[in-house]
Amino acid sequence: MDWMLVADFQILRHFFVFASDLTMSLALTAASQAVRSHVSQPLYFERKIIIIRLLKSFVDNSTPAYSCFFIPLHAYKNTLFMDAAIINYSEENVVTLDWHEHIRRRPGMYIGKLGDGLSPDDGIYILLKEVLDNAVDEYAMGFCKTIEIFIDEQEVSVRDYGRGIPLGKVVDASSIMNTGGKFDNKAFKKSVGLNGVGLKAVNALSNEFYIQSFREGKTNNALFNKGILKNQKPGSANDKNGTFVRFIADEEVFGHYNFNMEFIEQMVRNYTYLNTGLKIFINGVEFVSQNGLLDLLNENLGEAPLYPPIHLKGNDIEVVITHGNDYGESIYSFVNGQNTTQGGTHLAAFREAVAKVIKDFYKKDFEPADIRHSIVAAISVKVEEPVFESQTKTKLGSKDMSPDGPSVRNFISDFLKEKLDNYLHKNSATADVLLKKILESEKERKAISGIQKLARERAKKANLHNKKLRDCRVHYTDKHELAEETTLFITEGDSASGSITKSRDVNTQAVFSLKGKPLNTYGMSKKVVYENEEFNLLQAALNIENDMEDLRYNKVVIATDADVDGMHIRLLLITFFLQFFPDLIRQGHLYILQTPLFRVRNKKETRYCYNEEERILALNKLGAHPEITRFKGLGEISPDEFAEFIGENMRLERVRLSKDDNIHDLLAFYMGKNTPDRQGFIIGNLRVEEGLETEEELPEEIEL
């Protein structure tokens, strides 16, 4: 581990220690060594100003003015800093950045997180989405029926056949902030890209950005490098009207990345569901939808629904509703064509209105949770001048449908009150099936209510002193800039949890420790969640008993050994979440932590290898006779090293469900009875790996 020498303190009046692995006794020691009567000199590290403060209770005026102590560097990542106003502040501290430099320094403000392409919300997909939004807006205006996307490794190009950017504004539209053609256009008020920012972010974050507009036989194009104009050339062209954009995301910003075509295809499908008749081609493959959200639901249902989906349409709203047999709720939500994966005011209004309309229809005081249990639905609304909670537009914050219109809540409630109520009156067979499903959910809930109450009481007591959970300071439900980074690691055994606990960032990373292999919950009812102490405490830690609205961590990471037992624990935990909390997976919150299998090093360099290919590359790079260590378990990795694997370079693999995955069939095959089909699958997929063990285990430390 790298350590930082904190020295020459004049002293602070107050002390606040953020280091994750400093115990209180160490904090007291540090305080007693550093205390004096006025503010210390600020220390600059990695462009962050670190100010250590001393608690009043630790103040001891008799201590010397000069002192020093050591604090691990990783403890300062994402630190919550205080009292920045005490820093010397002058005109030299006030700077003005060019638009492209600001975007490159603060990309998270514009595209959310960066990522390497392993998650569908990584920045490289947001860049593509920003370009596509403009093309789809041309379709919404009635000027474009076809969009073409070409992806060749890291090069992406998009061609629409709309009106094309006005030729004299091609450079401005792609390089001057808050420049666009949608500010004064009434027809664009229900568009997503209203701020004149998106295309500029793509430009600034691309190593190469090329844009060309075609209008009535004339053209104008511009070439940029990292937001800086390199060339502009107007001229003539015989191409059809429209706009062509080509970009290569800059690896200086994103690091090494690769596009996952499955993520891009899903993004494109969503565009077609919300824009019926629009044809989008990806490398020549056509995607089109004629039935809107009904196609979305039919293509994503893993098994036949209990009744035919209810498809309702109105001005600025479209809804599809049905029920399945899985636990939880599966609701897709969209605003102005944007997939709002984190929901927002429209989703909250929809969930409330569905429960109220159905209660009123049957004239019974059902619990809303019983009505929405196993619901599979989708809602799309068009909001004038929508307000999102971030530039990535994944959560709607608008309270009203338009500046002078009804509230989002009343608009959705009134629509469902009329349309859904009418549908149920006209379709008695569907109404009967729905009533039977609600009664079954009610019966199951009441059957476990007794054990549920006891389990909640146990969880409350345990939360006061929960030995299994080592919590973090910031949570996903907090309105905090670090909320998106909140992570819960689920580990097995004290040794693994100890390493992660000592090396984690206490601001955003929590640890939940299992005492052994969890139960195989396949085929069990939700009663087991409350009867099993570990499952109950895990449910309470995540705060997902009723729904995902109050989930406390954005990422839930299964961190097990990379051996057979570790793989088995992964399967058991995935089974638990699939069985009872499938929305955790559907909404993209469940991950597998990838940890290195090997450490290869010599006296000058250390490399961590996650597979055999990386090990061979490391051997070739480091030359003859490097030391090779095979990690057999997480507990063998020291906290010093573990900080590298759960920090900025953490490798996570998201657990995903594709549209073809049937949860019941998946669990029955992999976690049910040992059928001949499963035996054949295992035999057919056996893999023998050779050369993974070294003949001689060399000592872990090298004398330098």
SS3 per residue for 547-601:
CCCCCCCCEEEEECCCCHHHHHHHHHHHHHHHHHCHHHHHCCCEEEEECCCEEEE
Q: How far apart are CA 607 and CA 614, in angstroms?
A: 9
**Do residues 250 and 198 lie in contact, with contact meaning Cβ atoms separated by under 8 Å?**
no
Q: How far apart are CA 43 and CA 73, in angstroms?
A: 13
Task: Return the percentage of the chain with pLDDT > 70, whole number.
Answer: 77
Amino acid present at 187: A
Q: In this structure, what token pair is assigned to residue 455?
A: 């389990």
Strand order from edge to edge, sheet including 598-601 = 606-609, 598-601, 627-630
Token pair 């009434």 is found at 186
Share the mean pLDDT of the chain.
Answer: 77
Residues 376 and 246 in one domain: no
Residue 655 has pLDDT above 60, yes or no: yes
The whole-number pLDDT of residue 192 equals: 55
Mean pLDDT of 194-198: 62
Burial bucket for residue 611 (CB in 10 Å: 0-12, 13-18, 19+): middle
**Do residues 352 and 360 lie in contact, with contact meaning Cβ atoms separated by under 8 Å?**
no
Q: How far apart are CA 553 and CA 487, in angstroms?
A: 5
Residue 67 within any structural domain of the chain: yes
Residues 265 and 334 in one domain: no
SS3 per residue for 505-530:
CCCCEEEEEECCCCCCCCCCCCHHHH
Nearest by Cα to 591 from 656, 520, 512: 656
Classify 629 in phi/psi space as left (phi over 0), alpha (psi -120 to 50) or beta: beta
Residues 583 and 488 in one domain: yes
Residues 87 and 113 in one domain: no
**3-class DSSP assignment, residue 183:** coil
Domain that holds residue 72: 3-91
Residue 76 within any structural domain of the chain: yes
Residues 281 and 336 in one domain: no
Q: Last residue of some domain: 447, 482, 511? A: 447
- In tens, the pLDDT along 428-439 reads 999 999 999 999
Instruction: Say which range, 282-291, 386-395, 690-699, has the weakest mean pLDDT.
Output: 690-699
**Do residues 178 and 196 lie in contact, with contact meaning Cβ atoms separated by under 8 Å?**
yes
Q: In this structure, what token pair is assigned to residue 49?
A: 């100003």
Q: In this structure, what token pair is assigned to residue 332?
A: 């897709």
Q: 15 or 493, which is more confident?
A: 493
Query: 162: how many CB neighbours lie within 10 A of its CB?
Result: 25
Mean pLDDT of 109-134: 85
Query: 260: how many CB neighbours lie within 10 A of its CB?
Result: 17
Q: How far apart are CA 391 and CA 108, in angstroms?
A: 9
**Do residues 327 and 686 lie in contact, with contact meaning Cβ atoms separated by under 8 Å?**
no
Mean pLDDT of 434-448: 86
Residues 530 and 666 in one domain: yes
The whole-number pLDDT of residue 190 equals: 59
Burial bucket for residue 169 (CB in 10 Å: 0-12, 13-18, 19+): middle
Residue 56 has pLDDT above 80, yes or no: no
Q: Assign residue 489 the CATH number of its domain.
A: 3.40.50.670
Residue 27 has pLDDT above 70, yes or no: no
The whole-number pLDDT of residue 433 equals: 93
Residues 266 and 323 in one domain: no
Residues 426 and 525 in one domain: no
The whole-number pLDDT of residue 516 equals: 78
Mean pLDDT of 162-172: 87
pLDDT band at 207 (very low <50, low <70, confident <90, very high): very high
Mean pLDDT of 313-324: 91
Amino acid present at 470: R
The whole-number pLDDT of residue 89 equals: 66
Q: How far apart are CA 436 and CA 447, in angstroms?
A: 16
CA atoms within 13 A on the CB side of 622: 21
Residue 275 has pLDDT above 70, yes or no: yes
- The sign one gets for the Cα dihedral 139, 184, 216, 218 is negative
Residue 658 has pLDDT above 60, yes or no: yes
Residue 283 within any structural domain of the chain: yes
Q: Assign residue 180 the CATH number of its domain.
A: 3.30.565.10
- In tens, the pLDDT along 606-646 reads 888 887 888 888 888 887 788 888 877 676 677 777 777 78
Residue 1 has pLDDT above 60, yes or no: no
The whole-number pLDDT of residue 413 equals: 93
Q: 294 or 492, which is more confident?
A: 294
Token pair 């993520």 is found at 263
Q: How far apart are CA 587 and CA 554, in angstroms?
A: 10
pLDDT band at 501 (very low <50, low <70, confident <90, very high): confident
Burial bucket for residue 636 (CB in 10 Å: 0-12, 13-18, 19+): middle
Residue 390 has pLDDT above 60, yes or no: yes
Residue 283 has pLDDT above 60, yes or no: yes
Residue 419 has pLDDT above 90, yes or no: yes
Residues 266 and 318 in one domain: no
Residue 686 within any structural domain of the chain: no
**3-class DSSP assignment, residue 313:** strand
The whole-number pLDDT of residue 635 equals: 63
pLDDT band at 300 (very low <50, low <70, confident <90, very high): confident
Residue 634 within any structural domain of the chain: no
Tally of domains in the chain: 4
Residue 209 within any structural domain of the chain: yes
Mean pLDDT of 571-584: 88
SS3 per residue for 48-96:
EEECCEECHHHCCCCCCCCCEEEEEHHHHCCCCCCCHHHCCCCHHHCCC
Q: 393 or 269, which is more confident?
A: 269
Residue 178 has pLDDT above 70, yes or no: no
Residues 516 and 664 in one domain: yes
The whole-number pLDDT of residue 55 equals: 33
Task: Return the percentage of the chain with pLDDT > 90, whole number.
Answer: 23
pLDDT band at 246 (very low <50, low <70, confident <90, very high): very high
Instruction: Say which range, 117-126, 588-597, 685-694, has the weakest mean pLDDT.
Output: 685-694
Question: First CA to last CA across the chain, in angstroms?
Answer: 15
Give the H or E element holding residue 242: strand 242-249
pLDDT band at 57 (very low <50, low <70, confident <90, very high): very low
Mean pLDDT of 50-61: 35
Mean pLDDT of 69-92: 47
Residue 125 within any structural domain of the chain: yes
The whole-number pLDDT of residue 298 equals: 87
pLDDT band at 700 (very low <50, low <70, confident <90, very high): very low
50 strand-pairing partners? 43
- In tens, the pLDDT along 506-519 reads 899 999 988 878 88
Q: 327 or 230, which is more confident?
A: 230
**3-class DSSP assignment, residue 652:** strand
The whole-number pLDDT of residue 356 equals: 93
Q: Last residue of some domain: 447, 466, 483? A: 447
Q: How far apart are CA 294 and CA 311, in angstroms?
A: 7
Query: 142: how many CB neighbours lie within 10 A of its CB?
Result: 9
Mean pLDDT of 692-698: 41
Burial bucket for residue 178 (CB in 10 Å: 0-12, 13-18, 19+): exposed
pLDDT band at 69 (very low <50, low <70, confident <90, very high): very low
Q: Assign residue 336 the CATH number of its domain.
A: 3.30.230.10
Q: Last residue of some domain: 257, 287, 317? A: 287
pLDDT band at 692 (very low <50, low <70, confident <90, very high): very low
Q: How far apart are CA 704 and CA 700, in angstroms?
A: 13
Mean pLDDT of 403-431: 92
Q: How far apart are CA 519 and CA 512, in angstroms?
A: 16
Residue 372 has pLDDT above 70, yes or no: yes
Query: 311: how many CB neighbours lie within 10 A of its CB?
Result: 17
The whole-number pLDDT of residue 435 equals: 93
Residue 273 within any structural domain of the chain: yes
Residue 83 has pLDDT above 50, yes or no: no
Residues 312 and 277 in one domain: no
**Do residues 281 and 160 lie in contact, with contact meaning Cβ atoms separated by under 8 Å?**
no
pLDDT band at 522 (very low <50, low <70, confident <90, very high): confident
Nearest by Cα to 158 from 286, 337, 283, 288: 283
Residues 667 and 520 in one domain: yes
**3-class DSSP assignment, residue 672:** coil
Q: How far apart are CA 630 and CA 610, in angstroms?
A: 10
pLDDT band at 426 (very low <50, low <70, confident <90, very high): very high
Q: 669 or 661, which is more confident?
A: 669
